[in-house]
Amino acid sequence: KMPPFDYTPPPYDGPSADEVLRKRAQFLSPSLFHFYKKPLNIVDGKMQYLFDENGRRYLDVFGGIATVSCGHCHPEVVEAVIKQTKKLQHSTIVYLNHAIADFAEALASKMPGDLKVVFFTNSGTEANELALMITRLYTGCQDIISIRNSYHGNAAGTMGATAQSIWKFNIVQSGVHHAINPDQYRGIFGSEGPKYARDVQEIIDFGTSGQVAGFISEAIQGVGGIMELAPGYLPAVYKIIKKAGGLCIADEVQSGFGRTGTHFWGFENHGVIPDIVTMAKGIGNGIPIGAVITTPEIAQALTRRSYFNTFGGNPVCTAGGHAVLRVLEKEKLQENAFTVGSYLKDRLKELQKKHEIIGDVRGRGLMLGVELVTDRQSKTPAKSEILHVMDEMKDMGVLVGKGGFYGNVFRITPPLCFTKQDSDFFVDVMDIAMSKL
């Protein structure tokens, strides 16, 4: 049984799901993204739940792709956004505004070391584009190294850094090199992080002048199927990159804002301090905002020209982001991600004993992955099976994400207010759905 929840959405009087589907097919750009045989029409959301046009409640285990950090339509975030919208919706960067400055200060206070200067953007892609550019401006070099199986965005530079063919189009990607993925499930060196790092040194020695602009990586690859980089990899790579004159970028678009439970930022789990940190998704709980944070010295690189972004640091988005930060702290959501995430991971590991199809259970906090394989020895991806399980789960009221290069990994990234009861319901539903295969 789904845990009880004290909220009933108001009656829906919009167009039917079929009507929305017709309009989508006719007027929206075509996409390869189809999770369900019959798409859902989601019209309402409250905390960790979503509602369709019939008022049916679904447990949201995807969290809008690791984006809804404090819960759908969290009242304090909604209030902050409404209040600011009524006061000042937009001015422009040439004037001062306290909503922007206050949030920048609050964000900087969450960073280690000398990471104190904030640039606001509208998305994760823009944040990473800016970060890549800063490394090139600061170092005077062009070569960037990213990791295979990573995802960093869909504009020219970030699509170049992204390293999965399914997310790449044939555009020019000069100066980007893709290092071997320190993949603990399929990788040749297992969990021995420093061994994978040697590939980064080889790229520098044999693919560049010996000097690089920078290195970018996620702490846990999200789109790539919740792959936690092998321990010891990042510290070893950071050393190599620094020696080659480059800057290290931590892409915290998915793994930041307490999602990993043990730390506020994903990179902290690896014991490194980056030169530049990028973020989006969880920073706004669904409000479009992103940010780049770096040191005052590195930030100087941007003063050589006028750098400007019309909406970046918009007062409505920054007021919303600031409220998100307050809610995360007040409701101890990072701690909750740790407690509930550890409990959920244990339960999923139990489930793995029962179902041969579960090849791997991994991740941290409320950023977990369950990889399905048709055979544990060969690790053959169970691509069609996962779709059947997802459809069955949807019918029982559970929405979960899917990803990985082969599309065979469940992505478990719910709002951080997820409870143990939600975890029990989710695992029980997954169990039933897998039993039906």
User: Which ranges of 274-397 does DSSP label H, i.e. alpha helix?
Assistant: 296-299, 315-330, 333-354, 383-395
Q: Is 129 in the site for ligand PMP (CB under 6 A)?
A: no
Query: Quick one: CA dihedral 32, 34, 40, 43, positive or negative?
Result: negative
> Where does this chain touch ligand PMP (CB under 6 A) — which range of 136-144, 146-154, 202-210, 425-433?
146-154
Q: Is 224 in the site for ligand PMP (CB under 6 A)?
A: no
- What contacts 358, CB < 8 A, 6 or more positions away? 348, 351, 352, 370, 371, 372, 373, 434
Among 124, 284, 286, 315, binds ligand PMP (CB under 6 A): 124
- Is the CB of residue 177 less than 8 Å from the CB of residue 144? yes
> Where does this chain touch ligand PMP (CB under 6 A) — which range of 42-50, 123-131, 327-335, 341-349?
123-131
- Provide, rounded to whole angstroms, the least separation between the CB of residue 357 and ligand PMP: 26
- Provide, rounded to whole angstroms, the least separation between the CB of residue 66 and ligand PMP: 7
> Where does this chain touch ligand PMP (CB under 6 A) — which range of 6-14, 38-46, 117-125, 232-240?
117-125
Binding mask 367-406 for ligand PMP (x = CB under 6 A): ----------------------------------------
DSSP secondary structure letters along 210-248? S--SEEEEESEETTTTSEEBPTTHHHHHHHHHHHTT-EE
DSSP secondary structure letters along 396-413? TTEE-EEESTTS-EEEE-
What 3-state class would DSSP assign to 319? Answer: helix
- Based on its alpha-carbon atoms, the radius of gyration of the chain, rounded to whole angstroms, reads 21
The first and second tokens of residue 72, run together, are 């759908």
The first and second tokens of residue 69, run together, are 């950090």
Q: Is 218 in the site for ligand PMP (CB under 6 A)?
A: yes
Between 292 and 340, name the residue whose CB sits nearer to ligand PMP. Answer: 292
Among 130, 144, 234, 280, binds ligand PMP (CB under 6 A): 280
The span from the CA of 5 to the CA of 414, in Å, is 16
Q: Is 128 in the site for ligand PMP (CB under 6 A)?
A: yes
Binding mask 237-266 for ligand PMP (x = CB under 6 A): --------------x-xx------------
- Residue of minimal Cβ distance to ligand PMP: 124
Q: Is 152 in the site for ligand PMP (CB under 6 A)?
A: yes
- Is the CB of residue 158 less than 8 Å from the CB of residue 129? yes
- Provide, rounded to whole angstroms, the least separation between the CB of residue 162 and ligand PMP: 8
The span from the CA of 301 to the CA of 285, in Å, is 30
> Where does this chain touch ligand PMP (CB under 6 A) — which range of 95-103, 148-156, 330-338, 385-393?
148-156
Q: Is 223 in the site for ligand PMP (CB under 6 A)?
A: yes
The residue ranges that bind ligand PMP (CB under 6 A) are: 65, 123-125, 128, 151-153, 218, 222-223, 251, 253-254, 280
